[in-house]
Amino acid sequence: MARLRLSHDSPIDPSYTPTASITALPATTPIEYILAVLERDGDIILHDLVTPMDLAAIATETQPWSTPRRHLNPQAQGDVFYTTSPQTSLIPGLVGKFATAARIYEYPVLEALQTRVLINE
């Protein structure tokens, strides 16, 4: 199967205002309220969940997976993720590979969400 070419349109005009938005809350918001927003909207942005230092650590740890790979070659055939944008780096097993990702995965707010959403408590 040939890789589909994705368009590289011009950047979005800075004056553009979307007609809808995703609810954004501090990561310290009570879990019940976060769950209510997820139930209502299906998505949420949690501000200040990850520190700038952790983001920098993730960038450093994932650097070996950020170089151009085979899936970026438009001539490659049979890539299982052929519809994934070339700008996206796929890193299977992220939590098992990187200490920072594992630590973030265990943040209390994320563990509470995993328990409540995935186990349906």
Classify residue 71: in a domain, yes or no: no
Classify residue 56: in a domain, yes or no: yes
| Low pLDDT (below 50) residues in the chain | 1
Segment holding 25, helix H or strand E: strand 24-26
Classify residue 78: in a domain, yes or no: no
Token digits of residue 83: 């519809």
Q: How many domains does the chain have?
A: 1
pLDDT tens-digit map of 82-103? 677 666 777 888 899 999 999 9
Instruction: Answer whether 0.85 is exceeded by the pTM.
Output: no
- From its phi and psi, is residue 9 left (phi > 0), alpha (psi between -120 and 50) or beta? beta
Domain around 33: 24-66+89-118
Classify residue 11: in a domain, yes or no: no
Classify residue 4: in a domain, yes or no: no
Partnered with residue 45 across adjacent β-strands are 24
